[in-house]
Amino acid sequence: MSLPDIPRLYTALAEWLACTMYLLALRPRFGRAATLLCSAAWLAGLGIFLQLTGNVPLAWWIPCMVTAVAAMFLYIYVCCSVTAADAGYCCARAFILAEFAASLEWQLHCMLWPELGGGAPPALLLLAAVYAAVYGLVHRLEFRRLRQHPALGITGRALASAVIMALAAFAVSNFTFAQQGEVTMSVFYIRTLVDLAGVLVLSVQQEQLREARLHQELAAMDSVLRRQYEQYQQSRESVRLINRYCHDLKLQIAAIRAEQDPGKKAAALDEMESGIQMYEARNKTGNAVLDTLLTAKSIFCQQHDINFTCVADGHLLDFMPTGDICTLVGTALDNATESVQTLADPEKRLIRTAIYAQHGFVMLRFENYCEVPVPLDDDGMPPHGYGIRTVRATAEKYGGTVTVHCEDNWFILRVLVPRNP
């Protein structure tokens, strides 16, 4: 028995809902009012287009579908702050999801009321129920995680794979219809099952991409941790040698003073001693690990014309192991020095650091001057800022938080951890 095909308005609604789910999960390009206006206009335009092209010959059917998919791509790309590759990937996934939702709903409709039109109240109730179930389940399983990590970073290879899989699923699901030229229940079974397979395959691909991205971030963070600890070991040995050398020089100076006492030589010796003190470990915070890190960084800043000031109570970090102190302090200071070294004017190479107690918490505050505000992603982190992400991961081990913002040409990193957790 020949059955009516899916109403074009049902298809338009399915495609709009699929695209809108991505719009809600990704970062919008415009404000709420402009986004709502664009969304409503796109739904109306797509509905009118599909309704007008609902009875075109088979030869025109594929160009019309290509136009509809292009409209989905433009909707995502224009309304979301994403790259063209990200928009294309989301479009491929949204298209197959919409095909599955529309096919499943109309298959159930034809099984229950084959003679009933799509505008009847029972049909509309079924439409609302099926679309709510399909899109609600997908949102619960996948899009909540996408909202937490909206940066897709889709490569050309991943985009090509998604497009090929979407095209294959669409072609297979509509092959029987193209052969028979009419809609039967077997056509709906094939459509629904193939579209479901396409949704599942693309979901598995998305999970693989997410895991690959997480592995990349973990590898980068692990590299940062190893580098920080190696730097700490080198700094500790350098500081130890410098302190011993300074101590030996002081003994020599004392001996020279005892043997000769001309005024000029005394002044020269005073100057020599003052210069030596520049290399002596002068950061006495009460924490040996913190003293080593700050001393090494102080020497580095003096060598590179960087004004580095620090006020720190090292005892507040006594509960942390060496590796975590290196990660929190060493990584933050490395980012700061790398940033200010790019400034041509030495007067602007400014770094301020403070570690102090605040209402039962330990506040680690790192500030460096920046001429251009640093862009932040939806996660509140600088793009590709694996170092700061490592700092955040370390702080979260203790139930702490990390905040980043720019204010009056200052890049400010705040780390807040409970005191003696």
DSSP string for 17-81: HHHHHHHHHSPBSS-HHHHHHHHHHHHHHHHHHHHHTTT--HHHHHHHHHHHHHHHHHHHHHHBS
pLDDT band at 279 (very low <50, low <70, confident <90, very high): low
Low-confidence winner among 55-59, 291-295, 413-417 (lowest mean pLDDT) = 55-59
State whether 322 and 174 are in the same domain: no
State whether 211 and 89 are in the same domain: yes
Does pLDDT of 128 surpass 60? yes
pLDDT band at 393 (very low <50, low <70, confident <90, very high): confident
H helices, E strands: number in the chain: 14, 5
231 in a structural domain: no
State whether 193 and 295 are in the same domain: no
Q: How many CA atoms lie within 13 A of 211 on its CB side?
A: 6
413 in a structural domain: yes
92 in a structural domain: yes
227 in a structural domain: no
240 in a structural domain: no
Q: What is the pLDDT of residue 86?
A: 85
State whether 315 and 394 are in the same domain: yes
State whether 59 and 197 are in the same domain: yes
Q: What is the pLDDT of residue 384?
A: 61
pLDDT band at 417 (very low <50, low <70, confident <90, very high): very high
State whether 157 and 289 are in the same domain: no
- DSSP-derived secondary structure letter, 329: I
Average pLDDT over all residues of the chain: 80
261 in a structural domain: no
Q: What is the pLDDT of residue 281?
A: 44
Q: Give 77-126 pLDDT, tens digit per residue.
A: 888 878 888 889 889 989 999 989 988 988 888 888 877 777 888 889 99
State whether 165 and 290 are in the same domain: no
State whether 209 and 71 are in the same domain: yes
Low-confidence winner among 94-103, 271-280, 399-408 (lowest mean pLDDT) = 271-280
| Domain boundary, last residue among 199, 218, 237 | 218
Number of domain units in the chain: 2
86 in a structural domain: yes
Domain carrying residue 328: 282-421
- DSSP-derived secondary structure letter, 419: S
Residue, of 27 and 164, whose pLDDT is higher: 164
State whether 302 and 421 are in the same domain: yes
Are 307 and 351 contacting, i.e. CB atoms less than 8 angstroms apart? yes
Q: What is the pLDDT of residue 412?
A: 93
State whether 301 and 205 are in the same domain: no
Q: Report the pLDDT averaged over residues 368-391.
A: 77
| Domain boundary, last residue among 186, 218, 250 | 218
Q: Which two tokens stand for residue 157?
A: 């290879």
Q: Report the pLDDT averaged over residues 379-384.
A: 69
| Domain boundary, last residue among 187, 218, 249 | 218
Q: What is the pLDDT of residue 32?
A: 84
Q: What is the pLDDT of residue 35?
A: 86
233 in a structural domain: no
Question: Given CA atoms 285, 318, 366, 153 in this order, what sign does their dihedral have?
Answer: positive
State whether 417 and 301 are in the same domain: yes
Q: Report the pLDDT averaged over residues 177-191.
A: 65
Q: Give 31-45 pLDDT, tens digit per residue.
A: 888 888 988 898 898
Residue 3, classed as helix, strand or coil, is strand
State whether 71 and 144 are in the same domain: yes
Low-confidence winner among 244-253, 330-339, 409-418 (lowest mean pLDDT) = 244-253
